[in-house]
Amino acid sequence: MQFKFSDEPLEKVVADLVVVLAWQRVKDKKDKGTAALQKSDGGMALDKYLGGLLSKIIKEEVFRGETVTRKLIYTDGKTTARAVLVVGLGKEADFNPNVLRKVGAKITEAANEVKARSIAGIIQPESLKKFAPQARIQALVEGFLLGSYKFEQYKKEPEPDTFNEVVFIAKSGKDKIEGAIKRGSIIADGVILTRNLVNIPARDLTPDIFAKKAREIATKQKLGCTILNPKQIADEKMGLFLAVARGSENEPRFVHLSYKPAGKVSCKIALVGKGITFDSGGYDLKPVRHMLTMKCDMAGAATSLAVIKIVSEFKLPVALDVYIPLTDNMIDAKAEVPGNIIKSRNGKTVEIISIDAEGRLVLADAISYALERKPDVLIDVATLTGGVLYALGEIYTAALGNDQKLINKYLAAAKGEDEPAWQLPLAKEYKKGFTEGPADLRNMGKTKADTIAGALFLEEFVGEDVKWLHLDTAETAWANEERNFTPVGGTGTTVRTLVRLFSSF
């Protein structure tokens, strides 16, 4: 998608559609509101130029200006553009940049519906509800790009979108606008990278293929990159990781990427992403209906790869190390079975109660490896437990950890990015059953609080010397229905939130 600039008035700018935004103005709580055109984005002036056409249709067709509602109004040749698209912002009190992400996606949808190639709109130079123009433009750009996303690379004849150009009308501040466009594009590209990796079928994204993609990104971004093969993984004594990998004909890989800023380091961060490239459940075989989306079980790995790419492009002052254990969880004569006891990298032994609780096994060894580099903060991202669906549903990511300030910062970042998250307790009462049996630990306890139990198992490998945050995205990494600017499939969730969090360190 191209982004251009113009200083022409709305009625003369060269574009297929011009866009104006409208508030939902209400008189009282019972009033459903009326759309109110703005002076600052040229809506009122354009309406006057058109002889009141916009306000007339808004009134006659009862357009209220509710959030992301839209009204397409043809101008019968009175403007260079063939139509005006009026998009609702909702109530002023509820406005924030997340509204503009949704607006950007809705504009994309409307433009494609009428086969418009380009749209144009005025960028008002002053802050709007305390949000500077740069923040608003970045949000719009993210909405345009994420709203345009389709995963169609396996279709014989993908349906092309016509909409591919945005014209920003601005009298000044071009440099700042270009910076906001670049920032929004980098964020959107990272989310799209995550979505694409999650959506690719497992046969086309084996551990080795993923590792090669990671190396390509590392080379381009000038990141440190180490990729361990099975022998090297064994040399690192990652017994739990290798136990999961035993059942697959695809060799495992362990990827370590590192980014260091040019100047002073504000924080040393370790980010661990679960990379199960397909999860059959092993000998605890999943039902077919649950297995269908298990190519998604590497979403944490995809997220981590996207985040370090964005962090390096933004040149944030943090030192970021990303650790990605990659393997399938399959059935084979060599695959581990329940009751087997495996030694972990940190020396603790683990009795396998369920091989379908494999994510915590590979993460445990990856966390032990990461901690030896002495990070200030450790964060793991994982599609870890099906139980998070019953705890929080499909919209909220579960956040657990050992440092309340870190959790609070993450929750604030998630709210700011409209990627809902909710804290669950690390309740020690749910450790029951983990330490029973012939090994130091079992990989499953007796509690039905599955999401909390998964985090409690990981805590055994984290210790108390590092600030730790665990994110369970088992239900938020994949969308079964379209919502906002997220289609069915991989969502790219937590990418924006983690970048926002790291920007605050």
Give the pLDDT band of residue 173 (cuts 50, 70, 90). confident
What's the pLDDT score for residue 186? 98
The pLDDT tens digits for 118-144 are: 999 988 777 777 888 899 999 999 999
The answer to whether residue 433 scores a pLDDT higher than 80 is yes
Give me the mean pLDDT over the 365-377 stretch. Answer: 98
The pLDDT tens digits for 70-105 are: 999 999 999 999 999 999 999 999 999 999 999 999
Picking from 264, 244, 265, the residue whose alpha carbon sits closest to that of residue 253 is: 244
The answer to whether residue 352 scores a pLDDT higher than 90 is yes
Is residue 222 annotated as part of the catalytic site, yes or no?
A: no
Superfamily of domain 2-171: Leucine Aminopeptidase, subunit E, domain 1 (3.40.220.10)
* 330 vs 484: which has the higher pLDDT: 330
Stated pTM of the model: 0.96
Portions of the chain given CATH number 3.40.220.10: 2-171
Portions of the chain given CATH number 3.40.630.10: 186-503
Is residue 496 annotated as part of the catalytic site, yes or no?
A: no
Range 186-503 classified under CATH 1.10.3720.10: no
Calpha distance 161→156 (Å, rounded)? 16
Task: Assign 3-class secondary structure to 273-331.
Answer: ECEEEEECCCCCCCCHHHHCCHHHHHHHHHHHHHHHHHHHHHCCCCEEEEEEEEEEECC
Picking from 331, 346, 359, the residue whose alpha carbon sits closest to that of residue 473 is: 359
The pLDDT tens digits for 379-389 are: 999 999 999 99
The answer to whether residue 44 scores a pLDDT higher than 90 is yes
Please identify which of the residues 64, 345, 360, 442 carries the catalytic annotation.
360
What's the pLDDT score for residue 66? 95
Picking from 480, 467, 471, the residue whose alpha carbon sits closest to that of residue 451 is: 471
Please identify which of the residues 82, 237, 286, 415 carries the catalytic annotation.
286
What's the pLDDT score for residue 253? 99
What's the pLDDT score for residue 174? 85
Give the pLDDT band of residue 207 (cuts 50, 70, 90). very high
